[in-house]
């Protein structure tokens, strides 16, 4: 046999242990007991309040079982399923969470387990309490409510309410979220452990909190439920797990035992009849184990704390005080930081405000410069426009002056024309008057001329008669052979021409007055010749008076016609000038 022999490596097997927020994997020795595994898990997570917890697993018969600490792990029907995980769960519930729970890890594990039981509806919770518990759960997970960081729908994806409560009311996830946020905002300043403790304080008052239910039958084979709690045993009707039909406190129970499926509960008071019920064969050991554990813990609470518990409480108290100091310090630092953040935000806001004011000032300065340039440009344009307007005004003024002068001239011309018109009218009236006078004079002269001609005619007739008579008598008295001479007819003109003015009474206006005379007078050669001119019987043009009268009448007629024509021309000229003045005045008014 060699002096040194290598020790054989101990056989081991993998074990997976799950908590509600973590997953642990270990390699256990083949001979390791349940306590070895349990202590390993507790040391790993720092759990010292081990009496509340146990390792739960599902055996080969698909029954829920708790790992026995005094037996090997391999001997507890798990060897055929090496990958079966163990769950670290609260096996025995405390009566008062605020008084009994010492460690924060214990409180956290119990919080997670109770929360899961409520959400999975293993524990009935009313809707109002569900919303309040959900707000504490959100506070424990996310911390203080921050409205700026809170996004719509943030809580809608979280599993916060039992499905029974959601189905009970016709509300949208957003409506549930709003109701939870109302309570969530009230928990500001609460730490995670405080929020979890408040959650557990409310949850421990629920009817189904800390109750392990088992289906049983009484002697009459009535289906009932047995509830194992921290305070005793409860008997429930099949349809009501909330209100127990019968309650057996641990202080009244003396002994519990089972034989196959039969359970017997003996009481301290011997006068009370033993309570007998029947349970499935696979559950009787589990029921007895829970009864023993809850009874032992019940008795332990009513005894003075052990040194270990006292040390744990002292350490927990110191830890709480330290955490409280740290929390207060953190709160002060948080307040200071928030104040500093507020100051910083205020400074940043003021800086942004100043920057904005500077930007606005620069913009205003730039706009003012642009405005100044624009105003300067407008000023130049205005000056140019002013000069143009001044020039136009001067032009207009000159035009106005010209128009005024033209108007004055027009007025003067108008006055002159009016004066000329009045003069022309006066001249016309005078000419008309003179014409009337001349017409009257011409009529008088015509009358006189007619009378003269009539007298002349009469005289001529008398003369002719006289001459004829004298000639006849003389011829008869003459001797034969005496010659007679004939008075030429030229001495007696047959007609006498007069101006038209003297013949106006005849109607033609330009005819001649004819005086008929005899064709001639036959004179005898023997008789003495008679000088007819000496008698002035024949009207001769050489008569100065009649000739002058005829010339004056003709001259006046010509002058009258010339003046009439001149007056007509002046009137036409005046009409043209008046028309020009009207057109000029209308154009002048239109320009004004």
Question: Known binder of ligand: residue 71?
Answer: yes
**Buried b / exposed e across 424-436, counting CB within 10 Å, b at 16+?**
beebbeebeebbe
Q: How far apart are CA 550 and CA 540, in angstroms?
A: 13
Question: Known binder of ligand: residue 47?
Answer: no
Question: Known binder of ligand: residue 483?
Answer: no
CA dist list (Å): 564 to 427, 429, 484, 546: 10, 12, 58, 27
Q: What is the 3-state secondary structure (H, E, C) of 484-541?
A: EEEECHHHCCCCCCCCHHHHHHHCCCCCCCCCCCCCCEEEECCCCCCCCHHHCCCCCC
Across the strands, what pairs with 223? Answer: 217
State the burial class of residue 335 (Cβ atoms within 10 Å of its Cβ: 0-12, 13-18, 19+). Answer: exposed
- Contact present, 19 and 86 (Cβ < 8 Å): no
Helices (H), 281-306: 284-301
Q: Measured between alpha carbons, how far apart are the two ends of the chain, in Å?
A: 148
Structure tokens at 176: 């549930």
State the DSSP code for 50.
G
Residue appearing with tokens 């106005």: 400
Question: Known binder of ligand: residue 285?
Answer: yes
**Buried b / exposed e across 509-544, counting CB within 10 Å, b at 16+?**
eeeebebebbeebebbeebeeeebeeeebbbeeeee
385 CB-near residues (< 8 Å, 6+ apart) = none
54 CB-near residues (< 8 Å, 6+ apart) = 38, 66, 67, 88, 89, 91
Residue appearing with tokens 């003369």: 463
List strand residue ranges (DSSP E) for 63-157, in order. Answer: 64-66, 86-90
Long-range contacts, stretch 179-186, CB < 8 angstroms, 24+ apart: 179/131, 180/131, 180/134, 180/135, 180/138, 180/155, 181/135, 181/145, 181/150, 181/155, 182/135, 183/131, 183/132, 183/134, 183/135, 184/135, 184/138, 184/139, 184/145, 185/145, 185/147, 186/135
Q: How far apart are CA 232 and CA 251, in angstroms?
A: 8
Question: Known binder of ligand: residue 8?
Answer: no
- Name the binding residues: 68-71, 285
């Amino acid at each position: 046999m060699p002096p040194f022999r290598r020790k054989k490596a101990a056989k081991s097997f993998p074990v997976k242990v799950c908590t509600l927020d973590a997953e642990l994997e270990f390699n256990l020795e083949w001979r390791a007991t349940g306590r070895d595994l349990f202590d390993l898990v507790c040391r790993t997570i720092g759990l010292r309040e081990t009496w509340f917890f146990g390792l739960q697993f599902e055996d080969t018969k698909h029954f829920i079982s708790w790992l026995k600490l005094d037996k090997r792990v391999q001997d507890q029907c798990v060897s055929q399923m090496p990958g079966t995980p163990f769950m670290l769960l609260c096996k025995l519930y405390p009566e008062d969470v605020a008084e009994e729970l010492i460690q924060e890890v214990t409180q956290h594990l119990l919080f997670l387990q109770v929360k899961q039981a409520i959400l999975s509806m293993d524990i009935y919770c009313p809707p109002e309490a569900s919303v309040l518990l959900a707000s504490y759960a959100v506070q424990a997970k996310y911390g203080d409510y921050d409205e700026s960081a809170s996004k719509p729908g943030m809580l809608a994806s979280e599993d916060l309410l039992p499905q029974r409560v959601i189905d009970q009311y016709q509300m949208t996830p957003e409506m549930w979220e709003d109701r939870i946020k109302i309570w969530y905002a009230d928990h500001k300043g609460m730490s995670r452990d405080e929020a979890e403790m408040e959650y557990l304080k409310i949850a421990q008052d629920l009817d189904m909190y800390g109750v392990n239910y088992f289906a049983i039958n009484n002697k009459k084979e009535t289906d009932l439920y047995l509830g194992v709690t921290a305070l005793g045993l409860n008997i429930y009707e099949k349809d009501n797990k909330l209100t127990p039909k019968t309650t057996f406190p641990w202080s009244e129970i003396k002994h519990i035992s089972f034989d196959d499926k039969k359970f017997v509960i003996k009481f301290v008071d011997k006068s009370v009849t033993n309570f007998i019920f029947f349970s499935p064969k696979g559950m009787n050991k589990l029921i007895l184990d829970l009864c023993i554990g809850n009874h032992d813990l019940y008795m332990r609470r009513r005894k003075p704390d052990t040194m270990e518990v006292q040390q744990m409480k002292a350490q927990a108290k110191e830890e709480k005080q330290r955490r409280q100091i740290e929390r207060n310090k953190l709160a002060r630092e948080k307040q200071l930081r928030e104040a500093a953040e507020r100051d910083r935000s205020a400074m940043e806001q003021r800086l942004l405000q100043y920057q904005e004011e500077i930007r606005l000032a620069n913009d205003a300065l730039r706009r003012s410069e642009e405005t100044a340039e624009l105003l300067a440009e407008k000023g130049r344009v205005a000056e140019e426009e002013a000069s143009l307007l001044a020039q136009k005004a001067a032009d207009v003024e000159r035009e106005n002056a010209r128009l005024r002068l033209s108007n004055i001239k027009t007025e003067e011309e108008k006055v002159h024309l009016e004066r000329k018109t009045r003069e022309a009218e006066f001249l016309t009236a005078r000419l008309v008057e003179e014409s009337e006078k001349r017409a009257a004079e011409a009529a008088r002269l015509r009358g006189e001329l007619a009378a003269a001609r009539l007298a002349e005619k009469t005289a001529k007739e008398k003369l002719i008669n006289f001459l004829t008579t004298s000639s006849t008598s003389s011829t008869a008295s003459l001797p034969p052979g005496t010659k007679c001479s004939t008075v030429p007819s030229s001495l007696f003109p047959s007609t006498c021409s007069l101006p038209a003015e003297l013949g106006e009474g005849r109607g033609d206006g330009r005819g001649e007055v004819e005086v008929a005379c005899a064709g001639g007078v036959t004179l005898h050669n023997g008789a003495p010749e008679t000088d007819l001119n000496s008698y002035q019987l024949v009207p001769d043009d050489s008569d100065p008076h009649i000739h002058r009268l005829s010339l004056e009448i003709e001259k006046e007629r010509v002058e009258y016609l010339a003046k009439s024509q001149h007056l007509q021309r002046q009137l036409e000229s005046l009409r043209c000038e008046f028309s020009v003045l009207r057109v000029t005045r209308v154009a002048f008014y239109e320009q004004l």
